[in-house]
Amino acid sequence: MDFDYDLFVIGGGSGGVRAARIAAAEGGAKVALAEEYRMGGTCVIRGCVPKKLMVYASEYPGLMREARAYGWQVEPGTFDWLRFRGRLDRELDRLEAAYRGTLATAGVEVFDLRAKLVDAHRVQLTDGRRFTARHILIATGGRPFLPDVPGVELAVTSNEMFRLEALPARALVVGGGFIASEFACILNGLGVKVTQYYRGAQILLGFDDEARGHVADAMRAGGVDIRCGTDVTALEQIATGIRVTSQAGVAEEFDLVLYATGRVPNSAGLGLERLGVEIGKRGEIVVDGWSQTAVPSIFAVGDVTDRINLTPVAIREGHAFADTVFRGVPRQAEHDLVASAVFTQPELGTVGLSEEVARAQEKIEVYTARFRPMRSLFAGSEDRVLMKLVVSQASRKVLGCHVVGPGAAELIQLAAVALRMGATKEDFDRTVAVHPTIAEELVTLRAPVRSD
């Protein structure tokens, strides 16, 4: 059978774009890609990139306070949200154009339309056109989850946070994951009075308990009103804002309510179930290690598979798929020892196992250091850094590394290289420190604070 394309990609996020580019430019495939919104996906358009720029913006008040302690005559003014948003819009336009340029250079044909599957080798665009493809790749990412709460339509999600017409004076952030916690810190840094509701016992579930407790304590000290064991039962529009009623029956008023209660795979409406593609309980497309579904011609990568929902992982999955199918270089994306960062204030960087998970698997030693870093200490700040290593007693390998403090995301990237190479605690000990730095503490931890 002759096909219109060797590969048809549905979804123009990081994973889909990488797969399309490699298949076309390096695999010699005839490739098409359909994207219904903007090229670049969640990360570039309404996720990590604009969010990180908002993080930078929110850090300047603290930097100015620190500068005054160092002798600079600095007086903060007011934050011009619309000016920032205009620059942000232009930057996202630039990035989207770069993504489109990359695809054009590779020879990928782009359709700015939604696509769905007709059968195992055919897709249909919203304008009615149909195309055949030898292989189809689903890379449609995820979407924010909104619970069934009366008045929830009054809330915004992370998708809308970058398009606000004005900053609120009072904001409620609902959720305790990394997106909720990051936006709580961002808004707080921009001068908004922030309350955060989370129904669980501690924010940042799934991260190391000691590290997430350190972050929560610092957030509270910085002005975020975190209330755990609390959830919303109703939202109501009133003349002066949004009235929010909690489980305890307490009503409070806010100007903005942000729901960041998780994300779910964006797999609905693609026509997958009737083709025999297995869909999991959360809506995830079930794939094997090769990112292949139960239908041999259909593959999926990225957040829609709900494996590890991080942009670099989606890129690795898309690249591995293209290498395997179109370049004759079979390989699977690896999902162990993936480093990640939470851009709260302070930052959290982590790679490997938490203390709790590691202890459930084997006997361990735990090394920690808590200290006031030189830069903020000089400025009179009480901020503290946490450095933590989780070590196997049997093999001496470092099973987990967790950093909370300035530059944690940058530090954890290099720590991830060491852990992937199988570094032991003694390898860390033999490494000469760079002084004076925060990072030197990772190689000067001598005695365990806990061991089994």
Long-range contacts of 73-82 (CB under 8 A, 24+ apart): 79/167, 79/190, 79/191, 81/164, 81/166, 81/167, 81/190, 82/166
H/E element, 371: strand 364-371
Cβ burial of 227 (10 Å; 0-12, 13-18, 19+) is middle
Angle between helical axes of 48-69 and 178-189 (0-180°, round to 10)? 40
The CA distance from 175 to 177, in Å, is 6
Separation between Cα atoms, residue 198 and residue 193, nearest integer Å: 17
How far is it between the farthest Cα atoms of the chain? 74
Residues 6 or more apart in contact with residue 320 via CB below 8 angstroms: 290, 291, 331, 332, 333
Euclidean distance between CA atoms 122 and 415, whole angstroms:
45
Q: Are 138 and 302 in contact (CB under 8 A)?
A: no
Q: Which residues are catalytic?
A: 435
| Residue 7, SS3 per DSSP | strand
Q: Which two tokens stand for residue 440?
A: 């030197």
Whole-angstrom distance, CA of residue 194 vs CA of residue 168: 10
Angle in degrees, CA 67, 380, 387, rounded to 5: 100
What share of residues in the chain are helix, strand, coil (percent, to 5)?
Answer: 35, 25, 40
CB 372 within 8 A of CB 380: no
* Paired tokens of 48: 């990590």
Token digits of residue 74? 């600095």
* The two structure tokens encoding residue 401: 């590394």
